[in-house]
Amino acid sequence: MPIAVLAALPERDPAELERACSADPGNLCRWTFELTGNRQVAQVADWFADVPLQILWIVVVAWIVNRLARRAIRRFGQRIQGISDNDGMKRLRSRTPSVFLSTGEVNVRSAARAETITTVLRSVVTGVIVTIAAIQVLDAIGWNLGPLLAGAGVVGVALGFGAQYLVRDFLAGTFMLIEDHYGVGDVVDLGEASGTVELVTLRVTRLRDANGTVWHVPNGEVRRVGNKSQQWARAVLDVAVSPTTDLERAAKVIGDAATAVWALPEAQPDVLSTPEVLGLEYLGPDAATIR
């Protein structure tokens, strides 16, 4: 029958143990050195007992911080959308025209804007956390971070000079989304280009004009924005009549016709208020224009 024999580990020279595992050796390093008598094996065992645990700790902390940050960003996005029922959002809803609340346009635009902003914030926060965690891991492994950080600083300065316009476009796009200047489907005037917005990113806005030309406008170059379709717009109609016509009667006829069109059921969802005749706009030898 097999017999189990327990043998005591051989005693090692304390000086050799100190050279292998330092003056304050860990239990694993001491046990490995006493078992094998090999300094390199003991040092490797001590390294595996120390460095991987540090790396695991760094990864766990980074994961927890990232989860907490993403949760905070999600709540921030909900506040932008108006999901939170705080006093500020109640005041905002009370000031919003009821027709927009009923059609859901405010909620749709807020949801789209909040989704874009929170996506960008999540990416930025995750990138920062991963970068910091990677630096901590390299430091735990024992890499010399001085040359690495110096090189990163030089590269950062070079990119700062070379990509300053790109950074400007991204910053302008971020504030544009936060302030809700325009969105996809809006008809806008950006100065040099005007038309219907087809795509909005943090760097560029793409729109198509009435001729079908597609314009790509960097967000950093947009100095002013005229939005013709945000929330509501006014349709201006000029009617030309003979200059000898009774202008007061003509204005009444035009107003009655516009009101009749407004009263049609199919026009109610799109026309927000009763038409209004402003009066005489132009009087010339050939025609009079009533607006």
Residue-wise pLDDT tens digits, 104-146:
455 556 666 777 778 778 888 998 999 899 888 888 777 777 7
- Say what percent of the chain tops pLDDT 70: 68
Q: What is the pLDDT of residues 154-188, one digit of tens each?
A: 777 766 666 778 888 888 888 887 777 888 888 89
Half-sphere exposure of 239 (CA within 13 A, CB side): 17
* Residue 123 burial (CB count, 10 A): 10
Domains, the chain, in order of start with CATH, read: 47-143 (no CATH), 182-227 (2.30.30.60), 239-290 (no CATH)
Reply yes or no on whether the pLDDT at 255 is more than 50. Answer: yes
In one letter, which amino acid is 240? Answer: A
**What are the C-alpha distances in Å from 90 to residues 32, 86, 160, 185?**
68, 6, 42, 28
> pLDDT (tens digit, 9 = 90+) per residue, 212-249?
899 999 988 888 888 887 777 777 888 888 888 888 88
**Distance of alpha carbon 70 from alpha carbon 59, whole angstroms:** 16
Q: What is the pLDDT of residues 200-216, one digit of tens each?
A: 888 888 999 888 899 99
pLDDT band at 85 (very low <50, low <70, confident <90, very high): very low
pLDDT computed for residue 179 by the predictor: 79
Say if residue 68's pLDDT is above 90: yes
Residue 37 amino acid letter: G
pLDDT band at 25 (very low <50, low <70, confident <90, very high): low
Task: Report the b/e string of 235-250 with b at 16+ CB within 10 A.
Answer: eeeebebeeeeebeeb
What mean pLDDT, rounded, does the chain reach?
Answer: 75
C-alpha distances in Å from residue 177, one per residue of 1, 109, 166, 219: 81, 10, 17, 11
